[in-house]
Amino acid sequence: MTVLLSALAFLFLLTLLILIHELGHFTAARLAGVKVEEFGIGLPPKAKSLFRWRETVFTLNWVPFGGFVRLQGENALSQRERKSRGSFGSVSLGWQIVVLVAGVTMNLLLAVVLLTFGFSVGQWIPSFTTIASMEQAVQEGIIDADFGVYIFKVEQGGSAQTAGVPAKSVLFAIDGTALTRAEDVALLQEGKRRVTYTVRTGDDLANEASYVVDLSSEGKSGVEISTFPLRVSAPRHGVILAFNLALREAWVVSAETIAGIGKLFASLVQTGTVPEGIAGFVGIAQLTHASVQAGLMAYLRLVALLSLSLAVLNILPFPALDGGRLLFVLAELVGRRPVNRRFELITNTAGFAFLILMLLLITFNDVLRLFS
């Protein structure tokens, strides 16, 4: 039953995000005077026509997720067809830009609304990229946190390894003095030849053990450590602060998404592999399953984060994406003459084929990880 629920939640999630994106294009096109010939629920081939509303045929398609809108003249080659009344190319370049960015705008608005709700009602914890930013948030009352020292690596042949100190554990105390910062370790070990590490392990840090560790002449034991949040929580925030946190979250997640895309291309060029942290449909399905098990608020946060990622991905200046099509409109605006339509269509087709290949590669990598 849980697997079935997760599968339905996965399909609903993808369909919701894409249909809201396409609803943005649909609404902006209608406002601009562009005829929307079809609003498809799901992806072709078409299963049946549902109804017609104001010159738009609403269809149900066989591929059971996502959706699309088909604008009049958006793929027209001839200038006459492109400029015919109701066609995408017949409206001003300003309106064309509005239509193209409307989908991204809708995804961004959905994410901000959900994040505002989560930071106010759901007591969501914002994303942080540094310990310093977390400490600042504690001082501002945005979150409450306790910090400790995390041992993420024990060096081979070092005295800590000899003593049996485990990696991926929390260094709770040195000679009975509790620790909260990684920089405290050097101070407590200064001038000593031997210390006792109190280390905690386990998901709830319930397992505690002590190790006598010899130090080098430089006062080191052969561990790599960092300050680490042991516990983080957040109170309910007012709507204004929650909205500001939502905008901050949108900025942080967007920056991380762009960095991840850059990392993906760099890894493909250098090693031909997909790096950790990049997920396709299978990876998203796994995240959906985990969020469904964690509860409604976890699922809503996943929706918000994926909506942000979809917005960022679509606005990138890459052929076939909204950002790529926007680039051609801006080129026409700057050059004061239409871009060669055949070149534009070929470029977008090639870009779409490349994106499909990338998606297949990432999904194949997801499947390999399932069995690794």
CATH number of the domain bearing residue 162: 2.30.42.10
* Domain-located, residue 300: yes
Residue for token pair 């096109």:
29
* Domain-located, residue 131: no
Per the CB < 8 A criterion, the answer to whether 155 and 223 are in contact is: yes
What's 187-217 look like in SS3? HHHCCCCEEEEEEEECCCCCEEEEEEEECCC
Domain boundary (186, 207, 233) is at 233
Residue 42's region, left for phi above 0, alpha for psi from -120 to 50, else beta, is left
CA pseudo-torsion sign 221, 226, 227, 232? negative
Shared-domain flag, residues 254 and 221: no
Shared-domain flag, residues 282 and 189: no
Shared-domain flag, residues 166 and 313: no
What's 130-190 look like in SS3? CHHHHHHHHHCCCCEEEEEEEEEEECCCCHHHHHCCCCCEEEEEECCEECCCCHHHHHHHC
Taking only the tens of pLDDT, the chain with its 372 residues reads: 566 677 777 778 888 899 999 999 999 999 999 999 999 998 888 999 999 998 899 999 998 878 999 999 887 777 788 888 899 989 999 999 999 999 999 999 999 999 999 999 999 999 998 888 999 999 999 999 999 999 999 999 899 999 999 999 999 999 999 999 999 999 999 889 999 999 999 878 888 999 999 998 888 899 999 998 988 999 999 999 999 999 999 999 999 889 888 888 887 777 777 777 666 666 676 677 677 777 888 889 999 999 999 999 999 988 889 999 999 899 888 888 877 888 888 898 898 888 888 888 877 777 777 676
Q: Provide the mean pLDDT of the chain.
A: 88
Cβ neighbors of 270 (< 8 A, separation 6 or more) are none
Give the integer Cα–Cα distance in Å for 199 and 222: 15
Give the pLDDT confidence of 217-259 residue by residue, as tens digits: 888 899 999 998 988 999 999 999 999 999 999 999 999 889 8
Classified as helix, coil or strand, 60 is: strand
Domain boundary (233, 262, 291) is at 233
Give the pLDDT confidence of 327-364 residue by residue, as tens digits: 989 988 888 887 788 888 889 889 888 888 888 887 77
Shared-domain flag, residues 110 and 157: no
* Domain-located, residue 59: no
* Domain-located, residue 41: no
Q: Which one, of 183, 180, 189, 181, lies nearest residue 160 by Cα? A: 189
Shared-domain flag, residues 117 and 254: yes
Structural domain containing residue 254: 2-35+72-124+250-370
Number of independent structural domains in the chain: 2
Domain boundary (233, 261, 288) is at 233
Shared-domain flag, residues 167 and 192: yes
* Domain-located, residue 81: yes
Shared-domain flag, residues 359 and 314: yes
Give the integer Cα–Cα distance in Å for 74 and 323: 15
Shared-domain flag, residues 257 and 365: yes
Per the CB < 8 A criterion, the answer to whether 333 and 93 are in contact is: yes
Q: Whole-model pTM?
A: 0.85
Beta strands in the chain (DSSP E): 36-53, 56-71, 144-154, 169-174, 177-178, 194-201, 207-214, 223-233
Shared-domain flag, residues 264 and 346: yes
Shared-domain flag, residues 256 and 358: yes
Shared-domain flag, residues 225 and 259: no
Shared-domain flag, residues 219 and 280: no
* Domain-located, residue 156: yes
* Domain-located, residue 303: yes
Question: Could you give the maximum distance between any two Cα atoms of the chain, in Å?
Answer: 86
* Domain-located, residue 245: no
